[in-house]
Structure 1
Amino acid sequence: MFTGASALSLDAKGRLAVPTRHREALLAACEGKLIVTRNHEGGLMMFPLKSWETFSAKIAHVPMHLQWIKRLYIGHAQPCEMDATGRVLIAPELRAAAELSNEAVMLGMVDYFEIWDPAKHAAKEALDLARAGSSASAEAFKDFVF
């Protein structure tokens, strides 16, 4: 289970170092084989191979009128592999799409990761927090027990 936020740097080649706390689990789960793709909010998603297979199988069966979803997630998917030092090369096309330059925020999302430009992540989080008090959010959480 992947959780937590990490501030990361991208090197000149576009590689980011996976946080140490996740490396062993990724090696055990998928031998460091990962898939990185775009998300619909302007960030990236990074999946261990097994999680990608589950996710992409669902996306592959969207109805024809939702083909943009398939194009976005599957069409932009790039395989990558964690190197011996725990770094992952993010393809230039994906870095450009997510507006990543030399810094990134990586969020553990249970069975995958999100990768964001820090400014875009801060703006998205502020918007999400502003929405948290809405009646739609209250309805979504009505059955949760904390």
Structure 2
Amino acid sequence: MSHFLGEFDCKLDAKGRMMIPAGLKKQLPEAEREGLVINRGFEKHLVIYTRKEWDKIVDDLSKLNQYEKKTREFIRYFTRGATELTLDSSNRVLLPKNLLEYAGISTDVVLACQFNKIEVWNQAAYDEQMDNAPENFADLAEEVMGGAGRRVDE
């Protein structure tokens, strides 16, 4: 499985359409045929998945114990607003108004690729998040990735 790479600045037009940048479009060969899915992120941003990746996530969710209240709540909140996106002939996607409002997105957008997904951020919110980087990134890396006795190649 390949992972998405890059960070792209975009603008929404008056109708809420966003052009997929050429560098990202090259990484999405199946998008025109299979489509994309967008939904809410865990922070105030949106997340785009390929249809294939979304189907894997939904398959994992369907295996959870839905007799547990927390599981039902998580599934409900996680899938809330999930919408299929279709590329038009100009390589644009129409982002749903309710999701744009949730993420505080109006015009300037950052697409930040992370492994199997593309995060969609309000430019100012993304800049603020990145400006609040930890004082010592090496300490954070050690805390998250170091682990006692953990080998680098594990």
TM-score by length of 1: 0.84
Distance 2:34 2:11 in 1: 19
Amino acid at match of 2:39: T
Q: Which has the larger radius of gyration?
A: 2
The amino acid of 1:40's aligned partner reads F
Q: Of 44, 50, 53, which residue of structure 1 is paired with 2:52?
A: 50
For structure 1, the residue ranges without an aligned partner over 5 or more in a row are none
Which blocks of at least 5 consecutive residues in structure 2 are unaligned? Answer: none
The answer for the alignment partner of 1:138 in structure 2 is 142
CA separation of 1:128/1:70 partners in 2, compared to 1, >3 Å: closer, same or farther?
A: farther
CA distance in 2, matches of 1:118, 1:144: 34
Q: Percent of counterpart pairs with the same letter?
A: 22
Q: Matched residues in 2 for 1:120 and 1:67: separation?
A: 30
State the alpha-carbon separation in 1 of the partners of residues 128 and 71 from structure 2.
Answer: 27
Residues 1:129 and 1:31: Cα distance change in structure 2 (over 3 Å): farther
**1:36, 1:78 within 8 Å by CA — same for their partners in 2?**
yes
Do 1:39 and 1:72's aligned partners in 2 also have CA atoms closer than 8 Å?
no
**Once the 2 structures are TM-superposed, how far is the Cα of residue 122 of structure 1 from its aligned partner?**
1.5
Q: 1:31 to 1:79 in 2, by over 3 A?
A: same
Match 1:80 to one of 60, 77, 85: 85
Q: 2:42 aligns with which of 32, 35, 40?
A: 40
Distance 1:53-1:32 versus aligned 2 partners, 3 A rule: closer
**Shift of residue 94, structure 1, vs aligned partner:** 0.3
* Aligned: 1:124 with 2:129: yes
Q: 2 CA distance for matches of 1:67 and 1:127?
A: 33
What is the RMSD computed on CA atoms of the aligned residues? 2.3
DSSP 3-state at the match of 2:6: strand
Q: Distance in 2 between matches of 1:22 and 1:113?
A: 10
Aligned-pair distance for 1:37?
0.1
Query: 1:6, 1:29 → 2: CA distance?
Result: 17
Matched positions, count: 144
2:6 pairs with one of 4, 7, 10: 4
How far 1:134 sits from its partner (Å)?
A: 4.7
Task: Give the Cα–Cα distance (whole angstroms) in 2 for the partners of residues 124 and 27 of structure 1.
Answer: 30
Q: Distance in 2 between matches of 1:13 and 1:34?
A: 19
Tell me which residue corresponds to 2:108: 103
**Could you say if the C-alpha distance between residues 78 and 102 of structure 1 is closer, same or farther in structure 2, counting changes exceeding 3 Å?**
same
